[in-house]
Copies of this chain bind each other. A is one copy, B any other.
């Protein structure tokens, strides 16, 4: 089953040799066979290219009718009869490139929709597309081939490099961005962060938030995610850093390059990440921390202190992963044993007649 052409029309077809070349994969099969699309293993047909995502899907591959499979060398011999192998040391990357061959990014339709509101002194680079009801503010500058989706807002003075993708309903204010930056649907960049001071009477006075958001090349901000501008100085996301949906980035957070921040993570103000930090879903980091490069933070972790480069932590409060796993195992055993004890005490009490006490009071 190929991708739904209503949403993902396919280019091609392509000869398998061309497919292999796109994926920088070594071909074991007939390079002249023609292919029409990519598909998952369990639905792919003889004109479709699938992808083996690890040992766990070996059975699925052996049952598959896919005409070709992208896979690591150690699995190449396991392909079914008649199926070509596209051998790569990095199947996800190879598959990404092959999928992009069949489904190149849709061409922009250059032009400004008649309903869009673009300030007279805003600058849009060559080949840009601005959709219905989009707003581009005074003095904003977008580079070549910018895509500004329906209802998107690019605030006054904002600057984006080339190939910006600012999807429907996203907003960017007080923002400077490099090339190939993406704001997904409903992303919120540059708004006022959470800064205020209490008066003696208990009222709150907002502290003007006078910084900006600076996004490096290829930064991506997920749907409905929020990146607050700096209070003084900037909030900075380094080149290649990607935020998943519903992430919260507080004012003056600074990250290095290539950080991966999964859905619903929250990073409090002024915390700094090195390069290639990975933070799994729903984790939280308090403020003013330093997280070293290549640190990895587990799902739902609660990080309250600095993490050295390369360390893996999880748990709340976070601790080294090995310790956290042991602690969790221990707690689980304690809970299971005590639940079982309470259960048999209750059973014995039930057998003896009127209960001597509420179960659970052995604790």
Contacts and interface: CB of A to CB of B under 8 A. Distances in A.
A210 B316 CA distance: 36
Given A92-B207, A316-B300, A192 B184 contact: yes
Interface in A180-195: 184-186, 188, 191-192, 194
Nearest to A105: B208
A319 B330 CA distance: 12
A284 B282 contact: yes
Contact of A281 (B168, B196, B197, B284): B284
B198 A3 contact: no
A132 B103 contact: no
Interface residues of A, number: 118
A333 interface: yes
A38 B223 CA distance: 34
Interface stretch (A75-83, A243-251, A348-356): A243-251
B194 A169 contact: no
B204 A226 contact: no
A179 interface: no
Nearest to A138: B6
B339 A335 contact: no
A40 B146 CA distance: 34
A15 interface: no
A153 B156 contact: no
Interface of A: 1, 3-4, 6-8, 38-40, 43, 51, 90, 92-93, 95-97, 99-100, 103, 113, 115, 117, 131-133, 135, 139, 150-151, 153, 156-157, 167-169, 171, 173-174, 184-186, 188, 191-192, 194, 196-200, 202-208, 210-212, 218, 222-224, 226, 228, 232-233, 240, 242, 244-246, 248, 250, 257-258, 262-264, 266, 268, 275-276, 281-282, 284, 286, 299-300, 302, 304, 315-317, 319-320, 322-336, 338-339, 342-343, 363
23 contacts: A7-B173, A38-B210, A93-B198, A95-B197, A96-B205, A117-B150, A131-B135, A135-B168, A153-B168, A185-B188, A188-B224, A194-B244, A194-B263, A196-B242, A203-B218, A248-B264, A282-B284, A315-B335, A319-B335, A320-B339, A323-B332, A325-B339, A326-B338
